[in-house]
Amino acid sequence: MLRGAGLGASDLVVDVGCGTGRLTLPLAALTPARVVGVDAEARMLEVARSKDAAARVEWLRGSAYRLPLADRAAALVVMVMVVHLLRQRVRAFREAHRVLGTGGQLSVWTFTPRHVAEFYLNAYFPSIPMIDRPRFPSAEVLTAELCRAGFAEVRVEVREEVRRLDIADVVDRVRGRYISTLGMLPPLEYRLGLQQLEERLAQDRATTLAQRSEWAIITARTTTAE
């Protein structure tokens, strides 16, 4: 992503929905450009700031629909694990387009519909795929939406990641509702699914679960003719 953007010290990178800076901080370490992290949640930004001892990143509270940045201020806008939380994706893409200069790049990272269909917790929480299907549309749908927002040269890369997770870690993650979908489940389904996982932990602490993730990494550019 950074190689494609070819950034210099006078360029600006904006991480929209930066959360606690999980990606923003490594990004800032890899680029000479100025880096801004924008998030709607003050608590997320507080954690991000506390991790940024060198104050390398400027952390700003703001919405993906109304970024606190001037027109054409940025060379690269990044949205990682954010579009599934947006009710109006095209509106957010238009806003990213507004802040990008000529030939600027938007990079959207999200999960594919296949990831949703094969998610490792579906067996415990059967409503997850129904909740997540509309939140994680196909790359074709996202490409069409990016074009409607004014972007051109849309490229899609699919990446697979396979990990084995300790059952104790899975139970901790689920107890902490580590993905927003867990907070959207019917309460009884959540309790029963968690109970099943806790029973597996009690039976054998050495149990592991395979998590196969499939990412769509979508890169779009503002047209150079602008």
Ligand X SMILES: C[S@@+](CC[C@H](N)C(=O)[O-])C[C@H]1O[C@@H](n2cnc3c(N)ncnc32)[C@H](O)[C@@H]1O
> Residue ranges of the alpha helices (H) in the chain?
2-5, 24-30, 42-51, 89-99, 113-117, 128-132, 139-148, 167-175, 187-203
Q: Applying CB under 6 A, which of residues 29, 32, 41, 159 lies at the interface with ligand X? A: 41
* 90 scored as a contact of ligand X (CB under 6 A): no
* 22 scored as a contact of ligand X (CB under 6 A): yes
DSSP structure string for 84-146: GG-S-HHHHHHHHHHHEEEEEEEEEEEE-HHHHHT-TTTTT-TTHHHHHTTTS--HHHHHHHH
Three-state SS at 3: helix
Interface map 52-81 toward ligand X (x if CB under 6 A): -----------xx---------------xx
Stretch that binds ligand X, among 39-47, 129-137, 145-153, 217-225 (CB under 6 A): 39-47
* 23 scored as a contact of ligand X (CB under 6 A): yes
Which residue's CB is nearer to ligand X, number 23 or number 117? 23
Gap between the Cα atoms of 90 and 145, Å rounded: 6
Stretch that binds ligand X, among 27-35, 38-46, 117-125, 130-138 (CB under 6 A): 38-46
Q: How many CB atoms lie within 10 A of CB 7?
A: 20
* 156 scored as a contact of ligand X (CB under 6 A): no
By Cβ distance, which residue is nearest to ligand X? 19
List of residues contacting ligand X (CB under 6 A): 17-19, 22-23, 39-41, 44, 63-64, 80-82, 85-86
